[in-house]
Chains A and B, each alone.
Chain A
Amino acid sequence: MNVMDTRATSAMLYLDGVHVSFDGFHAINNLSLTLAPGEMRAIIGPNGAGKTTMMDIITGKTKPDEGTVLFDGTVDLTRLDETRIAELGIGRKFQKPTVFESQTVQDNLLLALNVDHSVRGTLFWRGSKAESERIDKVLETIRLTDARNRLAGSLSHGQKQWLEIGMLLAQDPKVLLVDEPVAGMTDVETHLTAELLKEINRNHTIMVVEHDMTFVRELGVKVTCLHEGSVLAEGSIDQVSSNERVVEVYLGR
């Protein structure tokens, strides 16, 4: 009991006994998971294991039927909406790259900056040097400096994925939830993305959902395998991938 309490307060993200069902289908079933500050965690699992639903719960899109979801040890995320949770410092990259297609790469990053998000603030906004420097830095990190004035809609799939990661960087959240960052990427792009995430992990906590096992191996972090809405196995990639049940339900023999 005491052990759990201390973990609850020190963890960046703390999920305990979470249940969600949609029309009788148990998408999340007694899910418990903790993410330590500064940790990067890879989440794997078959389709329908509840990976995206878990992110929906953390970001306030879906409310759990029961269970505890704490951020930074104290904040109860189940009571807050998406905007509030984003303001607190949880950023999210979607499975399907979601950027603002009709706006430029630069403007996409500008919108993502964690500055005043009120109607007044944006109406009377004037760019500052600090802001444009931050945008320049992010552009460099995601290797899109040359594309800054292009419309986000005209980027390649891989570039869109990066732009979305860049938007997360501009948002500078405490926790990044990254859903399938390398889906549809070439091997080189996948490798670069792994490097990018490792770099970001130096000062951010990250939870990354991915099917690409080469990529997960390259990240070299603790892996959690979900199945039918709860944790099936947790540990290093070698431990998890040699787990009998994981092989059976996910990796295949």
Chain B
Amino acid sequence: MTPHILTRSLDRAATAFVLLVAAVGVLIPLSNLLLPQGSMFQVPTYLVALWGKYVCYAILALSIDLIWGYCGILSLGHGAFFALGGYAMGMYLMRQIGSRGVYGNPILPDFMVFLNWDKLPWYWYGFDKFAFAALMVLVVPGLLAFCFGWLAFRSRVTGVYLSIITQAMTYALLLAFFRNDFGFGGNNGLTDFKDILGFNVQAEGTRAALFLLSCLALIIAFLICRAIVSSKLGKVLIAVRDAESRTRFLGYRVESYKLFVFTLSACMAGVAGALYVPQVGIINPSEFAPANSIEAVIWVAVGGRGTLIGAALGAVVVNYAKTFFTSGPLAPYWLFMLGALFILVTLLLPKGIVGTFNSWWEPRRSTGIAADEASAAREDGISAAKMAE
């Protein structure tokens, strides 16, 4: 990233957001590790893992906001890219178990032994190496998004039709991953992880490090998104969102732009999924459920579409609410509440939390400037009048 891109993309709000995430990323692990247990300010380990999960969701929300908020591509299947990144990480974690599994097979994960498989399927090769798995976290979702986008955008599938086929995509993957003979643990998915890079995934230190890494990934993803939306490319994306065919008549190859952001967004979702899996300790086909993808879109709508910060905020707020309500007596009604939230936000806050705040704040700020100028002008007038006397 060249410096001018960095300076252009970091306005005041963006800088504040980055500093906030960095502070949270450092302070929560520190308080968890250094302060004595039971202290008022000590964050218990289960909360570190829970907030780590929220941070991963925030990255997923950012990836959705980049394509939906700025380019008008409403993907209702982004959970698929998240889950694929998660599975790639899960496969690495499965291979790390080694002979500590229930069946003690040094190569084959337990579910393969259970299915009487005698050797590792070819697509599991290489996942014992972290670097390879990390690469696959980006490549697998990215490649799927590229192929899917190439077909869809070139055929000019847009709007609700695109949303429907993204739903179909994630649903198809859901069904495929449910099958035992697909080779990813079927219904149960991948779980019982032991180590990541030689560290125990359950250990406090590892959890703290994973939390810090998630915050770092959120910052990087945010900076990438900011760099894109504040460049001329960002203006083209908004142009595509607002008047696609006009953009085409200006000589822009709209499908290339869409393909670029869609693929990038899928890679970001993949990273979010990869960080999510070691923190929650399991990945199973339910992550592909269409409802998950829709829920992620709701986070973005609640926080404020096309604001980036709002997307991240929306993910945290809605998921915090979800945790809060689903652990109390209101648990059975959570889905109704989520639906009501979506309807209320659409009706009352169509720009979401951050978007509404911005449109309330912007005119105030600019009238503030105008008022200053006016009073300055008045003073000039007064002094000129005095001079005349």
Residues of A within 8 A of B (CB): 59, 61, 82-83, 86-87, 91-92, 94, 98-103, 107, 110-112, 114, 117-119, 122-126, 167, 171
Given A100-B238, A100-B239, A102-B242, A83 contacting B232 (CB threshold 8 A):
no
- Contact: A119 with B257, CB < 8 Å? yes
B243 within 8 A of A: yes
Which listed residue (A59, A103, A125) contacts B231, Cβ 8 A?
A125
> CB-CB < 8 A to B247: which residues of A?
111
- Using A61-B245, A125-B233 as known contacts, say yes or no to A86 and B251 having CB atoms under 8 A apart: yes
B337 interfacial by beta-carbon distance below 8 Å: no
If A100-B243, A111-B239 touch, whether A86 touches B249 (CB-CB below 8 Å) is yes
Nearest to A87 among chain B residues (CB) is B251
Interface size class of chain B, counting residues whose CB lies under 8 Å from the partner chain: 20 to 34
Which residues from chain B contact A100 at a C-beta distance below 8 Å? 238-239, 242-243, 246
Secondary structure at the B interface, as helix, strand, loop or mixed, is: helix
A110's partner among B232, B233, B253 (CB-CB below 8 A) is B232
Chain A residues positioned under 8 Å from B2 (CB to CB): 124
Q: Is the CB of A122 within 8 A of B238?
A: no
A residues near B378, Cβ cutoff 8 Å: none
Q: Does B46 contact A (CB under 8 A)?
A: no
- When the two chains form their complex, are residues B235 and A83 in contact, meaning their CB atoms are under 8 A apart? no
Name the one of B5, B233, B243, B252 contacting A98, with C-beta atoms under 8 angstroms: B243
Q: List 12 additional contacts besides A86-B248, A119-B260; criterion CB under 8 Å.
A: A82-B249, A83-B253, A83-B254, A86-B250, A98-B246, A99-B243, A99-B246, A100-B239, A117-B250, A117-B252, A122-B236, A171-B250
The 6 closest A-B CB pairs, nearest first, are A86-B251, A125-B232, A122-B233, A122-B232, A82-B248, A123-B233
A103 touches B235 (CB 8 A): yes
Q: Which of B210-252 contact A (CB under 8 A)?
A: 228, 231-233, 235-236, 238-239, 242-243, 245-252
A162 to B: closest C-beta gap in Å: 16
Chain B residues with CB under 8 Å of A126's CB are 4
